Amino acid sequence: MSTYGLIQEQRRIQPFYWIFTQIMSGLGMLIALAMIVGPIYLVTIFTEEWLWLTLILLPLGLWLFYVLWRALRRYAWKNRHLDRVEMDDYQVRYIQWNPETQESEEDAFDRSAIQQVYMSRYTMKNAHFYQKANFGEHVMLYQFLPEIHIIYRQGMQNKICTVRFYEGAEAKAWLDELSSQEVPLTFTMYSNAKLGTEEFRAGLEEDPYLEEASWTGNVLLQYESYHERRMKLILDRIDSARSVQRKRKQKRAARKNVKAFRNVGWAWLVFALQWGIAILLKEQAEQGNVNPVSSLIPIVVYVVCGVLFGFLTTIFVWKHVLIYCIFTAVNLIIISVSFYASDDMSAGARMLDTMGVVSFLGVLFVALPLIAYQYRLTTRKGLLYKNEDQSSSTTQDK
C-alpha cells in the first residue's frame, strides 16, 4: 500500500467506451478484410472480366485496416501506460510516458527542491472517455482542465514535473498542499503535449502572458479571473490584427479597381518629353558627340522616364508599367519613322534605332514577365481565398 498522501494518476478509458471502441474497431477491420479478401476471391473463382474492377477496393481495404489497427494499438497502449504523480510531506515521485517513443521518465525529488510552480490549462480531447457520468448526462468532447508544473532542482539543472487533473477538486487539494512550500506561483497560458521536455520548460518561461500569483485565497478562482483577462487581451489582439488585415484587403481591392488609363494623369507628358530627348540625342549623334550604337544613354533615358512616369501618375498600379513599356515602344517607332526612311544608315537614324531596340527590350524583359507574375499571383490568391472560404464555412458548420 502506498504511503503517499496525494496521488494523481492518468485515468483509463471508461469500460463502456473501451468496449464500444473495440467493437467498432473490430467491425471496421472486418469490413477492411472483406474489401481485401473479397475481390481476390471473386477474381479467382469467377471469369467475368468486369470483376477485375473490384480490385480497386484492395488498396482501400489495406489502408483502412492499417489505420484502425494502429489506432486500436495506440488506445490500448495509452490505456496500459498511465502517468502517475505521488506526493507526501517530504517527497514527490512521478512517472511520465512518452507516446511517441513509448519510453517512460521516472524520478523522485524532495519537496525542498521545488523552485517554482506554474499553473495553466490543458485541452482534453474525447473527455467523455475518461469522465464518469450518469446515463443520459451530457459530457463535452473537448474540455479545458487545470494542470500544474512543478519546477525542481536536481543537481545543477532544473527539471519539470507536470500534474494534470480531471476535476477542480483534485487541483485544489494539490495547490493547498503546495502552498506550504512558499515558492513563487505563476499563472501561464502555455500548454503543450510534450511534457517534461526542455522545449516545454522553455515555452513556460517565454510565455508572454505570465503573471505572478498569490497562494492566499482560492487559487482556482484567481486563475479563472486571470484566464478571462488574458483571453480578452488575446481576442482583442486578434480582432486588431484582423481589422488591419481587412483594411489592407480593402486597399488592395480599391487599387485593383483603379482604372489604369484614367489615372495616368500628368504622366502622359513623359511621352512628349521622349520626343524632345530623342531629337536632342539624334542631333548630338549627327554632330559626333554621342556614339549612336551605344545603348548606355538610351537605357538611362528609358529608366529615368519610367521613374518619372510612375511619380506623375495619379494612383500608380502595376498596369502603368505595361502602359509605359508599350507606349514608349510605339512612340519611338513613330519618332524614327517621322525623321528617317527605313534604309537610312546615318548617325541620327542609328541613334533612334538604338532607342527603339531598348524600348522593345523593355517590353520583352519587363512587361511580359510582369504579366506572367501578376497572373501567377492572382491564381495563388484565388486558391488562398477559396481555401479560407472553405475553412470558414467548415468552422461555421461545426
Structure confidence at residue 392 (pLDDT) = 43
Q: Are strands 211-213 and 185-187 parallel, antiparallel or unpaired?
A: antiparallel
Q: Kindly report, residue by residue over 45-61, the tens digit of the pLDDT.
A: 887 778 888 888 889 99
pLDDT value at residue 136: 65
CB pairs under 8 A, 24+ apart, for 297-306?
298/354, 298/355, 298/357, 298/358, 299/358, 301/274, 301/277, 301/355, 302/328, 302/355, 302/358, 302/359, 302/362, 305/270, 305/273, 305/274, 305/277, 306/362
Distance CA(339)–CA(289), nearest Å, equals 19
Could you give the CA distance from residue 148 to residue 161 in angstroms, rounded to a whole number?
A: 8
**0.75 exceeded by pTM:** no
In SS3 terms, 166-199 reads as CCHHHHHHHHHHHHHHCCCEEECCCCCCCCCCHH
Q: Tell me the CA distances in angstroms from 245 to 128, 249, 396, one per residue in order.
A: 39, 6, 21
Tell me if residue 157 falls in helix, strand or coil: strand
Give the pLDDT of residue 197: 67
Q: Supply the DSSP string of 319-376, one letter for each residue.
A: HHHHHHHHHHHHHHHHHHHHHS-TT--SHHHHHHHHHHHHHHHHIIIIIHHHHHHHHH
CB 366 within 8 A of CB 321: yes
Predicted pLDDT at 216: 86
Q: CA–CA separation, 393 vs 398, rounded Å?
A: 9
Strand order in the sheet with 211-213: 157-164, 143-154, 114-124, 185-187, 211-213
| Rounded Cα–Cα distance for residues 13 and 266 (Å) | 75
The residue ranges of every structural domain in the chain are: 9-80, 85-132+139-235, 261-393
User: For 335-378, what is each residue's pLDDT tens digit?
Assistant: 888 877 666 677 888 888 888 888 888 888 787 887 887 777 77
Please list the ranges in the chain whose pLDDT falls under 70: 1-4, 133-137, 194-197, 252, 254-258, 341-344, 381-398
Handedness of CA 109, 110, 115, 116 (dihedral sign): positive
Residue 271, Cβ neighbours under 10 Å: how many?
Answer: 19
Question: Looking at residue 235, what is its pLDDT?
Answer: 86
Separation of alpha carbons 355 and 169, rounded Å: 84
